[in-house]
Amino acid sequence: MTKTNSPPTRWVKSSYSVDNGGACIEWAPEHVSASGVVPVRDSKRPSGPVLRVSTDAFAGLVSLARSADL
């Protein structure tokens, strides 16, 4: 896995995220458009690690989240 020094410019918070300190993830849509790779991070740790997954893998994660009993 390669780490880049220039993070995507705009992170978007998951629609399941709330502002009470719960489990929140963010993704960077402009990065996806440019590279085809979806960066995902913990919104509570913006300087922490970034998981990069394929668009198919990200779609699977979204599908799983939508079908889960949350």
Residues contacting residue 37 through CB under 8 Å, at least 6 positions apart: 31, 52, 53, 54, 55
pLDDT tens digits, one per residue of 2-54: 555 665 468 888 766 666 656 688 888 888 888 889 999 988 888 999 999 99
Q: Enter the pTM of the model.
A: 0.69
Q: What is residue 54's predicted lDDT score, i.e. its pLDDT? A: 95
Q: H or E element: which one contains 30? A: helix 29-35
Q: What is residue 38's predicted lDDT score, i.e. its pLDDT? A: 93
Which residues lie across from 24 on neighbouring strands?
Answer: none
- Strands across the sheet containing 25-27: 12-13, 25-27, 37-42, 51-54
The span from the CA of 21 to the CA of 35, in Å, is: 31
